[in-house]
């Protein structure tokens, strides 16, 4: 693990990213105080769940738009 100040990190950012991708951890410091850590992404990081992940898991009835319409009308009409 190496420590660099912010100016050095800005100057050599692409090299630092390459080093991190190769597995090295780089600490970025401001006035000698560690402020951030540049670490490699692990291969086990799973992507966020996507919309549609339940596609095909269930079906919507054909009469979905009118289901319970009679009961709803009865409740609103007070009958």
Determine the structural domain holding residue 6 and report its residue range.
2-38
Give the separation between CA 43 and CA 27, rounded to whole angstroms.
Answer: 21
Confirm whether 71 is domain-assigned: no
Confirm whether 18 is domain-assigned: yes
List, for residues 31-73, the tens digit of each pLDDT value: 989 999 999 887 566 777 788 888 889 998 899 998 888 898 8
Confirm whether 15 is domain-assigned: yes
Confirm whether 73 is domain-assigned: no
The residue ranking higher by pLDDT, 45 or 5, is 5
Supply the pLDDT for residue 45: 64
Structural domains in the chain (count): 1
Confirm whether 34 is domain-assigned: yes
The CATH number of the domain holding residue 14 is 3.40.1620
Confirm whether 45 is domain-assigned: no
Q: What end-to-end distance do the CA atoms of the chain give, in Å?
A: 76
């Amino acid at each position: 693990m190496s420590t660099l100040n912010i100016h050095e990190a800005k100057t050599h950012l692409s090299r630092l990213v390459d080093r991190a991708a190769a597995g090295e951890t780089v600490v970025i410091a401001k006035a000698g105080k560690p402020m951030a850590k540049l670490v490699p992404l692990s291969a086990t990081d799973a992507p966020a769940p996507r919309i549609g992940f339940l596609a095909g898991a269930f079906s919507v009835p054909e009469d979905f738009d009118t289901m319970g319409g009679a009961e709803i009308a009865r409740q609103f009409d007070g009958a």
